[in-house]
């Protein structure tokens, strides 16, 4: 990469423990035969499969059946916070698979108790009680059900461009994608405008984003539509699937205030922003807001199916008296709980939250350097090691350039770095970048260098110098 694209921050790279290489297994796969079997037997689930077959993961890299090594800038599905195959995580999985894997959901085990203690002890006061499920959708479903039980009301407010999961209440409060083709949603769902600082039509006379006016407008519409049974508002601190939209400073505080006016609870979904990725244990800490209910998933399990619902003892007491019930086969399972506890132990022991802040500053600095060089980059946004790069064909008009973005992404992948780019038009041609927080500065520079080369070699990137 050219020197001007990124500056040295002066921080030393943190060394990741050595790993046993997985490369010898790569020669055992016939890629053409694997693809033939996939075409024959795998059911379509809403999007086309990536053309490569991934046969191994190690650290921050993926390996394909064709022998290609890829720097994984999305941590799997934004989940492998500590990287793939972290030796301590592998050890925990092995031991618990042998001796304490799965139990009847009403039985307790030491890993579940340890995870609840370590998690709640490192969250703001008022987030005191937790239980553990498998997916983010499940945790949001449970959180919404908790809010309905506590308030005795049923209407739920979500944000435009949100993504909360595939279950009934979760998808009902989700407005980015997935609502069509299967009949009515859960009744009583309302939408606040998506706080998109780059594209919102709500502007002050000087052209700056007026999120306060936008939010006030949204609540007026909700109050007119409501039947008087508003129970909760659910938000993400960064709307990842909607294009890496960061809530403006003060937004969470204002949402909490509006909820309190109406006797509603505030649910914050930190599937991707929680557990250190954004430079705090949880992203709400940036604003000092304590939600009534917090949900976690993805990053907590480092790629294993683990999610959490955390709330106050006071809310638990009311919901218990009202016969709240949320039972699943894998409620409070010991094996994933042991992994979650180890993730938190490593995060705190190795001061990885501070590392995420330093690495995030380096990543943002590098991406903004590329923005100064290539006119197709309309906006760079994010927090910590969660970043978005929006590709446009005209900076003044902010015209999405989906085809240019696709070709940049394809070339970057060929060069060896994978950043997710949704093909859905509502995503707006935004790259989602979320590498493991164990990534070193050299590895970050490696990825930025490949991304810059992809920009340089792609027609339509509009070099500025």
**In whole angstroms, what is the distance from residue 271 CA to residue 441 CA?**
25
- Output DSSP code: residue 284: G
CB atoms near residue 202 (< 10 Å): 18
**In whole angstroms, what is the distance from residue 397 CA to residue 395 CA?**
6
Query: Which among 329, 311, 365, 394 has a CA at the least distance from the CA of 143?
Result: 311
**To which H or E segment does residue 392 belong?**
strand 386-394
Annotated catalytic sites, by residue? 163, 236, 269, 272, 298, 432
SS3 390: strand
Angle subtended at Cα 158 by Cα 153 and Cα 161, rounded to the nearest 5 degrees: 165
Structure-token match 């394809």, residue found: 410
267 neighbors 144 (Cβ within 8 angstroms)? yes
- 415 Cα distance to chain centroid: 25
**In whole angstroms, what is the distance from residue 69 CA to residue 401 CA?**
28
- 316: tokens are 């638990």
69 neighbors 61 (Cβ within 8 angstroms)? yes
Calculate the CA dihedral of residues 165, 168, 171, 173 and round it to 10 degrees: -120
DSSP states of 399-463 as a string? EE-HHHHHHHHHHHHHHTEE-EE--SGGG-SEEEE---TT--HHHHHHHHHHHHHHHHHSTTS-B
């Amino acid at each position: 990469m050219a020197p001007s694209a990124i500056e040295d921050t002066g921080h030393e790279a943190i060394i990741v423990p050595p790993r046993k290489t997985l490369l010898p297994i790569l020669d055992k796969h016939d890629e053409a035969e694997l693809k033939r079997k996939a075409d024959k037997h795998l059911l379509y689930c809403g999007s086309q499969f990536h053309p490569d077959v991934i046969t191994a993961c190690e650290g921050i890299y993926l390996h394909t059946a064709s022998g290609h090594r890829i720097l994984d800038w999305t941590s799997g599905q934004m989940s492998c916070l500590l990287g793939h195959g972290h030796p301590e995580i592998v050890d925990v999985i092995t031991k618990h698979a042998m001796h304490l894997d799965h139990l009847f959901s009403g039985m307790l085990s030491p890993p579940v108790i340890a995870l609840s203690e370590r998690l709640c002890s490192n969250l703001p006061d008022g987030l005191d009680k937790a239980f553990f499920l498998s997916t983010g959708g499940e945790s949001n479903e449970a959180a919404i059900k908790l809010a309905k039980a506590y308030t005795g009301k049923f209407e739920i407010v979500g944000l435009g461009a949100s993504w909360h999961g595939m279950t009934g209440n979760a998808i009902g409060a989700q407005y980015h994608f997935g609502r069509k083709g299967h009949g009515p949603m859960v009744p009583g769902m309302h939408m606040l405008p998506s706080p998109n600082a780059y594209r919102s039509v709500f502007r002050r006379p000087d052209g700056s984003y007026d999120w306060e006016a936008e939010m006030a407008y949204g609540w007026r519409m909700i109050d007119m539509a409501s039947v008087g049974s508003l129970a909760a508002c659910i938000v993400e601190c960064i709307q990842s699937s909607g294009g890496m939209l960061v809530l403006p400073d003060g937004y969470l505080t204002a949402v909490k205030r509006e909820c309190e006016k109406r006797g509603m609870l505030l649910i914050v979904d930190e599937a991707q922003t929680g557990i250190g990725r954004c430079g705090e244990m949880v992203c709400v800490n940036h604003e000092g807001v304590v939600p009534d209910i917090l949900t976690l998933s993805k990053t907590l399990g480092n790629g294993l199916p683990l999610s959490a619902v955390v709330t106050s003892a006071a809310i638990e007491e009311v919901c218990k008296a009202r016969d709240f019930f949320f039972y699943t086969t894998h409620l409070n399972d010991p094996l994933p709980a042991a992994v979650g506890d180890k993730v938190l132990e490593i995060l705190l022991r190795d001061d990885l939250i501070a590392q995420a802040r330093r690495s995030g500053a380096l990543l943002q600095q590098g991406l903004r350097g590329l923005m100064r060089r290539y006119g197709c980059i309309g906006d760079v946004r994010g927090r910590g090691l969660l970043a978005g790069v929006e590709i446009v064909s005209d900076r003044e008009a902010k015209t999405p350039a989906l085809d240019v973005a696709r070709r940049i992404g394809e070339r970057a992948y060929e060069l060896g770095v994978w950043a997710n780019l949704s093909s859905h038009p509502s995503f707006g041609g935004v790259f989602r970048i979320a590498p493991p927080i164990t990534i070193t500065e050299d590895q970050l520079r490696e990825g930025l260098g490949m991304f810059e080369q992809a920009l340089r070699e792609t027609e339509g990137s509009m070099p500025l110098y």
